[in-house]
Structure 1
Amino acid sequence: MNVRDPFGIHRKNALSILKTTVPRSAVNFTERAVEASINALEKSKKVVDDLDMSFTVPKNVPSFTNPQRIVEDHVWGSTAVARGGKGSQTNKNTGILGGVQDKVGSLFDDRNSLPMYKDKPYAYPPSYRAKPLWRRKRVIGFVLFVILSLYYFGAFGHHRDTVIASTPIWAWLAANSESGKTADWSGRRERVVEAFTLSWDAYERYAWGYDEFHPISKKGVQMAPGGMGWIIVDALDTMILMNLTSRVTHARQWISNSLSYDQDQDVSTFETTIRMLGGLLSAHYLSNEFPELAPLSDDDPGAPGEDLYLEKAKDLADRLMSAFDSPSGVPYASVNIGKYEGIPAHDEGGASSTAEATTLQLEFKYLAKLTGEKYFWDKAEKVMEVVDNNGVEDGLVPIYIYATDGTFRGQNIRLGSRGDSYYEYLIKQYLQTNKQEPVYLEMWDETLRGVRKHLITYTEPSGFTIIGERPDGLKGALSPKMDHLVCFMPGTIALAVTGGLTEAEARKKSTWTKQNEADMKLARELMHTCWGMYKWMATGLAAEITYFNIANPPAPESAPHHPPAEFDPDPEAEWRKDYSVHSMDVHNLQRPETVESLFYMWRITGDIKYREWGWEMFKSFMNHTAVPDGGGFSSLSNANKVPPVMRDNMESFWLAETLKYFYLLFSPNDLLPLDKMVINTEAHIFPRFDMGQLFSTGWKRKPRDADGKIIK
């Protein structure tokens, strides 16, 4: 039979089978459903005819013979979901190149092992959606049986490795496979584990031991001659949490046998601290405090490798300490780890990034606590004193600081790149030492007041809450620009309000204030805006930078604003006028900040919508960032077109942060309780602890006026 007319002679047979095997009450609908399925398949056949393309399996369909196939089956099948409501942008994803891997995977999946979905169909009549559940399940199952029967008994003849590119019925069936109203969060969490293993196994297969992985070209690149363990160490604690014992074993063996920091290599002080030092310390903590996770005999008490991670961390930290050997104590931007030599930045007049200089404290303080080496603590905490002694207005710091004298360079103030994690680590330092260093809470509170006063405004016409920038200082104009990085703030604000307790628990305390109430409201509004960054894009994945339409002059923080509760999917919806993405900013780097905040907001508020937003975001990553031929997942050069343009790069924080936060978001709330630990800016997990007699804050703030300026 001609494969380009697969249903030509089978239509009558299929429908006659229906009339003899299905109860009469269900025949009419089922007949229409099969007709609709066949029509959809014939329409896609016409598309292929017009393009003069054969029905060959696209390259981005998982290999059916690859040992990774079982895992791939689950991922591809579970993500074949039609997301109605994006107009023409979403519909493009059902074309020749869009979502094919999902639909093909669905043909071979065991549906009983797949998660359930809450998405509503957008192409089928409301009367069917209203039918009782038992009738829905029976009819859907039968339609699936009929179509699979046609597939296996001749519709495709001997061409069972071929597929029609556009089959909406498969996406629709997956979207409606949920029974009842309760989502299977355990199943959804397993989909995250499968996404992680796809990514990790691709790296392991094509670039093992390399610091960078390019999943499309299947290549690895080193940052240092012997490798820095950039991906392996960064992903290690995620694998421990996910209980991936064999993969942890392989990673641990590489760290033990191949990882050496005795290399003549310049590295970023900040990135190496948060990723490598943080990753090793987190692995040490998890493997000791949660031995049931990825259990290994090598790290058991008394075993030769018991302190492997800590020993590597101590060696690396001793090398990184050289960056602090500046006249002011503010660390240099880089350090040669082989020569133990700090190196000033090559641009900005040698100034260091303020955020980078002040986002080392959690790591070095925890290491000091583990080792008893006080100099780690003292060097890291001295930086905070130098920064604070500048006496900035309203707690808002410029984004560059000189390591030579500890003064700021320029007046650019923002909570995006080079500014973000300074603010994050204020409240987290306070929590890390069990609230025994109130100076950091004081600095955080001052900062949040400054953010409200100088950076918060509302968009037009819809009234979304944003955090803008002051590139020319607090007296300069407000820029309506938000890096995706700024989306760490909703979760951090909520964490600061409750200290890691749930909102319900915190409200019962006598310490709950009207300011706490206002801060939680701000957190919710910013979370809503950040989610809109995803909803605005064609792929459902946020751009690196988003601009907003605001009034001139900008509305003050006290202005009334009433943003829509939902994002209307109509491409011409009014809310879309508030957002704008420039052509140079459409890339998506697999960043974690929004899902990080969703995780905090879910744990703290208990509002299920944050989990649902996370699931929708996860599906977008699965649908649009999957790489052909078992390559895992890649960041995107253009996330505002479907299919997107790939960057051929997997960021290490995809494994260390983004997938970890998805995993935690879909996990039970007693996994890593927020009031017992603190998570660094690279999503590495540290315990909270008491300072004890050895450690102290070591400095006091100078007296200030109402604006935060030092009184001389």
Structure 2
Amino acid sequence: MVMGLVMAISLCVLLIDESPSQIRGWSARDFHYIKAPDYFWATLPLIHPPNFIRPLPNTNPVSYPNVQFHFTQETRDARIVREERQRAVKEVFTRCWSAYKQHAWLSDELAPVSGNRKNPFGGWAATLVDSLDTLWIMDMRGAEFDEAVTAAATIDFTLTDMGEINVFETNIRYLGGFLAAFDLSGDIRLLRKAVEVGEMLYHAFDTPNHMPVTRWDIHGAMRGEPQVAGTPLLAEIGSFTVEFTRLSQLTGNPKWFDASQRIMDQMAAQQNSTALPGLWPLAVDAGGMVFNSGSTFTLGAMADSAYEYLPKMSALIGGQLDIYQKMYEQAIEAALTHNLFRPMTPTNEDILIAGQVRMRSNGDSVISQLEPQGQHLVCFLGGLVALASKLFNRYDDMTIATKLVDGCVWTYKVFPHGIMPETFLMKPCASNDNCRWDDASWEEEVEAMAEANNEDATPDEIIAQRRLPRGFTAIPDKRYILRPEAIESVFVLYRTTGREDLVESAWDMFQAINRSTATQLANSAVLDITLPSDQMPPPSDSMESFWMGETLKYLYLIFSEPERISLDEFVFNTEAHPLRRLKG
């Protein structure tokens, strides 16, 4: 009965009628709250309305240093090469976009081998929404962009076949996607959709302590059933600030900023009382508002964007709240001491990998134990450290950023297909300053790793069977799922330092990825990139929306003129959606 009522409700008659041309030049402070009086999520009463809503900060923004490198005028020959590469990336995007339109329009994802469609993110056209700003950035701003926006305007966020919604993914893909496309184009239809998503997500915060339910029974919420926050992963609860704050800036309604800031206040208060002060454990208790209990600490999967958003929030709000810089600096200092390691490599590369730390009892004390596991996902970290190095004048950190990005580029190069796997393990150097390759030491580590997994084989047999490049001791996950993080950090480090060799690395990475993942329709995640170079990695028939929303976007921007989406004007959310910064 409720669903029938919802279907009958007019989606959203927003009380604003400015044209895109009128909107485009306005500042964030010029917008008044856009109301949605007939929209279900806007009219559904809150069970636990907040006693107060804190306003957006209104102090003068900080005048941060320029983030982008001062690029000199390129030569004619360099421009020709750059534009050829840019066109090559755009051709891949256009091919994938056309396949999505033909086979999976308004579904979340195209299955790029079978041509089927998938709906893992609510069935609200995740690929379409994730690609809106990419269309604009790639100058597909005429009929293609308008058709996409017109289709996006029909998405109904009161209808889904899913029993449980991932609130984090909905926030970064849908809310972030609509906000960024609006920030770029000024098309008011996109801000209307952002408000619709924001109103829906706000109800996930309708709990007694105003902490969100991150794996959300959306239908129960629609029926007005009580909700209680659970035990989410760190990234799931710590990654609302950028999107929620931008929505509040654009609408003038501070409720979203207030909702996300309540989380950050708790995280800040407990940051230095964890088992590894400065970092938060991988899982937290949102219901009990406990953010300092746990023994596993990582900047990788399931925690990543909670750290990523600290300096990015500083940039977004123009440094009006110093809490974010303080939280970042405490976190990065802890990570530098405990999580980052130099791996032993046959070419003695001076690189860094970000691993995972487990705290364990040792008599009367607690000690940290490094698990030297690298992840493709944690490759975002080098770019983040580079961004924060510029923003916060942490000059020495640019060396750390460089070693992290070079580590990801090196890992791409040493695998047979020129692509990094999802996860891998390496032998840490005893010292970051003096680390020489030792065959015997590597083989001992390979054998120890195998023994820990109850494998009975010689090191040579394990290396051959597991197809381990020299320096790697195990590869638990051999897939490449079209991830963007390594490309992302290459982009950010290039824009902040101007290192030309990074452009060449990005071109090599693009060619390797497209060569190994292209299907008859589009591009597919692949199952094993450790196979010999003359054997194609088998596809998994999956093309997540971040392929077109992130990976290809970052590649295109690497081969674009530096002024296109300048890091001095925009900050990217964790789904690569550029949002306008408040400037001092």
TM bin, normalised by shorter chain, reads: 0.7 to 0.9
2:143 aligned residue (239, 246, 270): 246
Mapped to 2, the partners of 1:532 and 1:550 lie a distance apart of 16
- What is the 5 A alignment of 1:198-347? 198-223=95-120, 227-244=123-140, 245-263=142-160, 265=162, 266-288=164-186, 299=187, 307-337=188-218, 339-340=221-222
Residue 519 (str. 1) matches residue 397 (str. 2) = yes
Residue 236 of structure 1 and its aligned partner are, at CA, apart by: 0.9
Structure-1 residue corresponding to 2:247: 367
Structure-1 residue corresponding to 2:280: 397
3-state secondary structure, aligned to 2:341: strand
Can you list the C-alpha shifts for 1:338-392, whole angstroms capped at 9, x where unaligned?
Answer: 53478678xxxx4111112111110000000111111111011110011222233
- What is the 5 A alignment of 1:556-575? 559-560=433-434
- What is the 5 A alignment of 1:403-442? 403-408=286-291, 409-442=293-326
1:632 aligned residue (522, 534, 537): 522
Residue 651 (str. 1) matches residue 544 (str. 2) = yes
Residue 449 of structure 1 and its aligned partner are, at CA, apart by: 0.9
Native 8 Å contact 2:157 2:196 kept in 1: no
Residue 464 of structure 1 and its aligned partner are, at CA, apart by: 3.3
Mapped to 1, the partners of 2:196 and 2:574 lie a distance apart of 22
Residue 261 of structure 1 and its aligned partner are, at CA, apart by: 3.4
Which one scores higher on RCO, CA 8 angstroms, separation ≥ 6?
2
Native 8 Å contact 1:483 1:546 kept in 2: yes
Native 8 Å contact 2:128 2:148 kept in 1: yes
How has the CA–CA distance of structure 1 residues 669 and 259 changed in structure 2, closer, same or farther, with 3 Å as cutoff? same
2:328 aligned residue (444, 452, 469): 444
3-state secondary structure, aligned to 2:277: helix
Mapped to 2, the partners of 1:663 and 1:180 lie a distance apart of 18
Structure-1 residue corresponding to 2:422: 544
Mapped to 1, the partners of 2:83 and 2:497 lie a distance apart of 20
- What is the 5 A alignment of 1:622-701? 622-628=514-520, 631-641=521-531, 642-689=535-582
Can you list the C-alpha shifts for 1:49-88, whole angstroms capped at 9, x where unaligned?
Answer: xxxxxxxxxxxxxxxxxxxxxxxxxxxxxxxxxxxxxxxx
Residue 522 of structure 1 and its aligned partner are, at CA, apart by: 0.8
3-state secondary structure, aligned to 1:475: strand
2:231 aligned residue (333, 351, 354): 351
Native 8 Å contact 1:657 1:682 kept in 2: yes
3-state secondary structure, aligned to 1:686: strand
Can you list the C-alpha shifts for 1:201-250, whole angstroms capped at 9, x where unaligned?
Answer: 1111111111122111110023478x312111111110111121332222
Can you list the C-alpha shifts for 1:121-177, whole angstroms capped at 9, x where unaligned?
Answer: xxxxxxxxxxxxxxxxxxxxxxxxxxxxxxxxxxxxxxxxxxxxxxxxxxxxxxxxx
1:593 aligned residue (485, 492, 506): 485
1:529 aligned residue (396, 407, 414): 407
Mapped to 2, the partners of 1:203 and 1:218 lie a distance apart of 9
Structure-2 residue corresponding to 1:491: 383
Native 8 Å contact 1:327 1:403 kept in 2: no
Percent sequence identity is: 31
Native 8 Å contact 1:358 1:383 kept in 2: yes
Residue 315 of structure 1 and its aligned partner are, at CA, apart by: 1.4
Instruction: Return the index of the structure with the highest Cα Rg.
Output: 1
Quick one: which amino acid aligns to residue 459 of structure 1?
P
TM-score under structure 1 length normalisation? 0.61
Mapped to 2, the partners of 1:522 and 1:591 lie a distance apart of 22
Native 8 Å contact 2:109 2:125 kept in 1: no
Native 8 Å contact 1:358 1:422 kept in 2: yes
2:351 aligned residue (455, 464, 471): 464
3-state secondary structure, aligned to 2:212: coil
Structure-1 residue corresponding to 2:448: none
Residue 337 of structure 1 and its aligned partner are, at CA, apart by: 4.2
Mapped to 2, the partners of 1:593 and 1:587 lie a distance apart of 15
Mapped to 2, the partners of 1:183 and 1:611 lie a distance apart of 14
Quick one: which amino acid aligns to residue 477 of structure 2?
D
Quick one: which amino acid aligns to residue 640 of structure 1?
T
Residue 260 of structure 1 and its aligned partner are, at CA, apart by: 3.9
Residue 379 (str. 1) matches residue 259 (str. 2) = yes
Residue 394 of structure 1 and its aligned partner are, at CA, apart by: 3.3
* Structure 2: gaps spanning 5 or more residues: 1-75, 361-365, 438-462
- What is the 5 A alignment of 1:168-183? none
* Count of residue correspondences: 461
* Structure 1: gaps spanning 5 or more residues: 1-178, 289-298, 300-306, 500-510, 564-570, 692-712
Native 8 Å contact 1:330 1:386 kept in 2: no
How has the CA–CA distance of structure 1 residues 595 and 342 changed in structure 2, closer, same or farther, with 3 Å as cutoff? farther
Segments ≥4 residues shifted beyond 4 Å: 179-183, 262-265, 340-345
3-state secondary structure, aligned to 2:333: helix
Q: Aligned-residue CA RMSD in angstroms?
A: 2.5
Quick one: which amino acid aligns to residue 300 of structure 2?
G
Residue 253 of structure 1 and its aligned partner are, at CA, apart by: 2.1
Residue 254 of structure 1 and its aligned partner are, at CA, apart by: 1.4
